[in-house]
Amino acid sequence: MSTDAGLEVTLVRNATVLATVGETTFLVDPLFAPEGALPPIDNTPNDRRNPLVPMPDVDLSHEAVVVTHRHPDHFDDAAKERLDADVPLFCQPGEADAFVEDGFTDVRPVEDEASFEGVALHRTPGRHGRGELAEQMGPVSGFVFAGDETLYLAGDTVWYDAVAETLDRFEPDAVVLNGGAARFNQGEPITMGVDDVAAVREATDAAVAAVHMEAINHCLLSREELRSATDGVLVPEDGESIAL
């Protein structure tokens, strides 16, 4: 996803993306495990080992890392081992100590806003499911990256008031949603499904892309299903950059 003003987003795999704002590239939610190296998510409709697909051949160069939350499909042991210990790492305040314990030396918890090389980072609310299940899933965040162009990475959230308020507040040029309609054997999906994505598409004039599909065993919504059920939503393949 790119614009002439210097905004580019490349899907690596699952929710792992490279977001370049101006001259600065952020690696978001690194999942680096080889195909099948991780167990399936428990209490879900199938028992396929994760990740379901290999890492694509993508240049992972970056200046900073952003982790929306520490669920294992957003930050794993392979990423902990491969990332430079001194990389600037932005995260939720409640998870900063865990990254320090992992050996990272430049952990930068974001309460509300931070800045890095001319880019403002705003941490935004998320709701990882609905009702009691959302409480059990723990706190999650999205991030807005504001440079000459503004990118909103919503993180693991469903459509709810705070997502609409974030769109209204920041008026982003591009939005990346975590789709897949991830679910357990009980309860509603904990990431965006067709209706959630369609609600975002209706609420903004921004370019809208959806990732977080076909890589983890409990993400049941396929790319083709989302493409056929929505209009004007970009659904990249692993390793793909989308030009606006």
Kindly list the averaged pLDDT for each block of 10 residues, start to end, along the chain of length 244: 68 98 96 98 95 98 98 98 98 98 98 98 96 91 97 98 98 98 95 98 97 98 98 97 76
Beta strands in the chain (DSSP E): 2-3, 7-13, 16-21, 24-28, 64-66, 89-91, 107-109, 113-116, 119-125, 141-146, 150-153, 174-178, 207-211, 233-234
DSSP 43-58: SSS----B-SSPPP--
Residue 2: predicted pLDDT: 44
Residue 53: predicted pLDDT: 98
φ and ψ at 140, to 5 degrees?
-135, 160
**Domains identified in the chain and CATH numbers:** 2-234 (3.60.15.10)
Residue 159: predicted pLDDT: 98
Residue 20: predicted pLDDT: 95
Answer yes or no: pTM beyond 0.85. yes
Each residue of 131-153: b (16+ CB within 10 Å) or e? Answer: eebbeebeebbbbbbbbebbbbb
